[in-house]
Chain A
């Protein structure tokens, strides 16, 4: 009797879900027929006929939409990768300052976290782009001219040119994510027992050595899961690139949808590329996680 009750409920729920999906698909087909668009991916191989300011691989407007999407995907990957590194660097420093001995450093980093976390990322990105980068008048060069120069065209670092759009997106994403990473790092370090600090101090180790050799290895298992979710957030947030005019996967998809008038297909492509991106990041972090746990616990 009990089993049949469970089975009926499940069948009923499955039927409801399936019928809702059927109704939606039916509406969609009716609407697509009405607009005369239909559903196909054939347009992917037609020439894109729009220019891209940034492309890591050769690209010209006569290349196909598919190739333009791939370039956008690479652009996304590029900005995610570098922001990830920079955010981890800044976040770790701020997180360590936050638990450090110096009260002033603690205050400054607490203020940094409070300001960054309580304002929207999109606003910060616009600030970086329109105020911090495009607002630069003339060129600011470092004393040794060729190493670093900053102008409203972007940054020139050791001969590598970074566009204004890439720079502002990189800085905005890194600064925003670093505030969250700092909290993750702080939580991880606070999760290590206070006795560990006392014992390495009584062994005569310096604070910096003890932090590096004793505390951080024990804090890592607590830090890594939080770090992974921050990296995934960063990847998702990188789609705000469209606000500063950087051609990432979402921005290019948006252009293509406007050109071809095929929102459904474009949306499906967007979803697939993000599932793939998420898989890369979570698998990479999983690999890192097992590697670190193995190295910190050899027995």
Chain B
């Protein structure tokens, strides 16, 4: 008898504790219902999903040659499998140990699958697009900017004034500039700084620009990790007679990276979202392909459907990455408890 009244009591306590509370709750419930019903009605009856259904290959692979679609398809599946394996936490220790390695090799595999060579027919970078290009930009920039960011963070902590000053100037300038200016630099100005005759394609220039930008932010995250390592760790290394390089690489850095890992994953989420800026600068990544489909007279005015579809894709990927970040955080706090 007692237990049957508990849920009602609970609901009363958390949502209807006084008059104002009840009014707020009732308003939310009624508005929520109206919103949900009209949303479901719109999705099923009013929306015309042809614009998404007919363009699915474009959204995922851009204008990649039709007979080679398995290549980006395989790569995106690999991305999904890797993400879910990381989240699920496989019981086999050999796989768990090699997961970081798999993530590191993910970007080179993508470049090989997309660009071709070594037995695969070459595909030019202007045919890359859609979700594939978004993930390529994200993974390549992330993998290059991580070591750069770590180097900058170490540089900023360095005892050598020249190194310290140079890294600080770089980090502070990059962090005060809007990303779109850096990307603009990548697209229009990098060609001007190259020797005559040397040309880099647009995707590469975008990756360079993202790397320049993101490494400054990664540097600050890593610095946060470095600063939280107690000084005694350094002293312990010195007492053991280790070389300063050994102390940094074997003792300080692994611990600092471990602490910085959640914020680094958030950086990756931000990077993925920011690759959409390339739509303004003329690459047809996920948002860019959406824009060019909307410019097609056949699908004119189908803004809501396309934007909601794109938002759903971005949301799913970013949420999975955020979940991975939280997962790593929990795992680390557990490991700390074990100590």
Where the two chains meet, the residues of A that have a C-beta atom closer than 8 Å to any C-beta of B are: 6, 9-11, 13-14, 17, 24, 27-28, 30-32, 34, 101-105, 108, 114-115, 117-123, 126-127, 130-131, 135, 232, 236-240, 242-243, 250, 254, 257, 263-264, 267, 270-271, 274-275, 278
Contact = CB atoms under 8 A, between A and B. Distances in A.
Given A27-B196, A120-B274, 17 more contacts: A10-B163, A28-B192, A28-B193, A31-B194, A102-B14, A104-B25, A108-B32, A118-B315, A118-B318, A119-B318, A120-B314, A122-B276, A127-B307, A243-B280, A263-B189, A271-B177, A274-B177
B236 interface: no
B105 to A, nearest CB: 26
A123 B32 CA distance: 24
B203 interface: no
Nearest to B29: A104
Interface in B145-195: 159-163, 166, 173, 176-181, 184-185, 188-189, 191-195
Q: Which 3 A-B pairs have the closest CB atoms?
A: A118-B318, A236-B178, A120-B273
B322 interface: yes
Given A10-B162, A274-B176, A274-B181, A119 B193 contact: no
Contact of B303 (A9, A10, A24, A135): A135
A17 B180 CA distance: 25
Contact of B307 (A131, A236, A254): A131
A155 to B, nearest CB: 20
Contacts of B189: 263-264, 267
B294 to A, nearest CB: 8
B1 interface: no
Contacts of A32: 192
A279 B14 CA distance: 45
B121 interface: no
Given A105-B24, A239-B181, A119 B14 contact: no
A34 B196 contact: yes
Name which of B15, B179, B322 has the most chain A CB atoms within 10 A of its CB: B15
Nearest to A263: B188
11 contacts: A6-B159, A6-B160, A27-B193, A28-B193, A31-B194, A104-B15, A118-B318, A131-B304, A242-B180, A263-B188, A267-B181
A117 to B, nearest CB: 8
A270 B319 CA distance: 34
Contacts of B322: 118
Contacts of A240: 180, 277, 280
Given A27-B195, A236-B177, A242 B24 contact: no
User: What DSSP secondary structure best describes chain A's contact surface?
Assistant: helix
A24 B190 CA distance: 10
Given A32-B192, A120-B273, A236 B17 contact: no
B208 interface: no
B78 interface: no
Interface residues of B, number: 50
Nearest to A17: B166
Interface string B315-330: 1001100100000000
B269 interface: yes
Contacts of B193: 24, 27-28, 31
B143 interface: no
B251 interface: no
A108 B15 CA distance: 13
A275 B303 CA distance: 36
Given A108-B28, A121-B273, A102 B15 contact: yes
B69 interface: no
Contact of B162 (A14, A243, A267): A14
B310 interface: yes
Nearest to A276: B176
Contacts of A122: 276-277, 279-280, 287
A27 B177 contact: no
A59 to B, nearest CB: 23
Name which of B178, B194, B311, B315 has the most chain A CB atoms within 10 A of its CB: B178
Contacts of A239: 178, 180-181
A257 B192 CA distance: 14
B28 A104 contact: yes
Contact of B311 (A31, A123, A232, A250): A123
Contacts of B315: 115, 118-119
Contact of A271 (B181, B192, B279): B181
Contact of B24 (A104, A118, A238): A104
Contact of B21 (A6, A10, A24, A102): A102
Contacts of A236: 177-179
Contact of B194 (A27, A104, A131, A263): A27
B166 A102 contact: no
A64 B180 CA distance: 25
Interface string B223-252: 000000000000000000000000000000
A254 B187 CA distance: 13
Contacts of A267: 181, 184-185, 189
Contact of B192 (A130, A135, A263, A274): A263
Nearest to A257: B188
